[in-house]
Structure 1
């Protein structure tokens, strides 16, 4: 009985956050809004289709976490249970720096996320500092 009540209390406190996939937003063209999101362990992130031809695919995840890859033009949700920093991109617009960062709890893998993000940013043809700006918000 106590275990059931504890599980119910934990699931009742988990939140759902939304990230929009957009052609144009406050940070320019081909963006996720928000580009940085800090959430609690166990929360869910819903990727919302704001414009066509976008997806979300994790390219950096903490040790022990599972990467995701959403289908093109489909909204989907991912529950994040592993603490750390996640970096994701829109596959067709990755070169345009359509990337975002989610911090779940403590930024346990921040140094690794920064190294991998620096490599990724070298492939961008525009907005080369966008990912670094989002990642700079992680602590």
Structure 2
């Protein structure tokens, strides 16, 4: 009977797993937004979706910004030149950085769920170039306005 219950539970959860998406983010040396970007700079996903960070150009990693992890979320740090996949369940605004280029402004935002990021989501502790990049991202994202 326990085995049947486990099987039924698993079958109920399969449709949820099938609905989750994988999103790709490139770590670049330069693009039309300037040096050291993530592309895209702003990503909207649903809880349970996965983000795959591609080491498109060498010398980068993807890591969560400690002050920008939603409640219930877990920090992550990829190795330099490592392509990693991170599944995000905690709803809110996630700040992501490239550790070696953080002070140069290599950052991005991931919105998990329906609440868009605002300037109020940016902590005062951000390096100046990182803060400016995030403000630019907020201003330029398609749903702004």
- TM-score, normalisation: structure 2: 0.82
What is the match of residue 50 of structure 2? 44
* Helix, strand or coil at the partner of 1:119: coil
What is the match of residue 3 of structure 2? none
Where does 1:1-139 land on structure 2 (aligned, <5 Å)?
2-59=8-65, 60-107=68-115, 113-114=121-122, 116=123, 118-122=124-128, 124=129, 129-135=132-138, 137=141
Separation in structure 2 between the aligned mates of residue 41 and residue 102 of structure 1, nearest angstrom: 11
When you count strand as a share of all residues, which structure comes out higher? 1
Structure 1 residues 40, 128: CA separation in 2 closer, same or farther (over 3 Å shift)?
A: closer
Count the aligned residue pairs: 134
1:109 deviation in Å? 8.3
1:107 deviation in Å? 3.1
Structure 1 residues 74, 8: CA separation in 2 closer, same or farther (over 3 Å shift)?
A: same
* Helix, strand or coil at the partner of 1:94: helix
Is the 8 Å Cα contact of residues 86 and 113 (structure 1) preserved in structure 2?
A: no
Separation in structure 1 between the aligned mates of residue 62 and residue 51 of structure 2, nearest angstrom: 11
* Helix, strand or coil at the partner of 1:53: coil
Higher-Rg structure is: 2
For structure 2, list consecutive stretches of 5 or more residues without a partner in the other structure.
1-6
For structure 1, list consecutive stretches of 5 or more residues without a partner in the other structure.
none
Separation in structure 2 between the aligned mates of residue 30 and residue 109 of structure 1, nearest angstrom: 21
CA-based RMSD of the aligned residues comes to 2.3
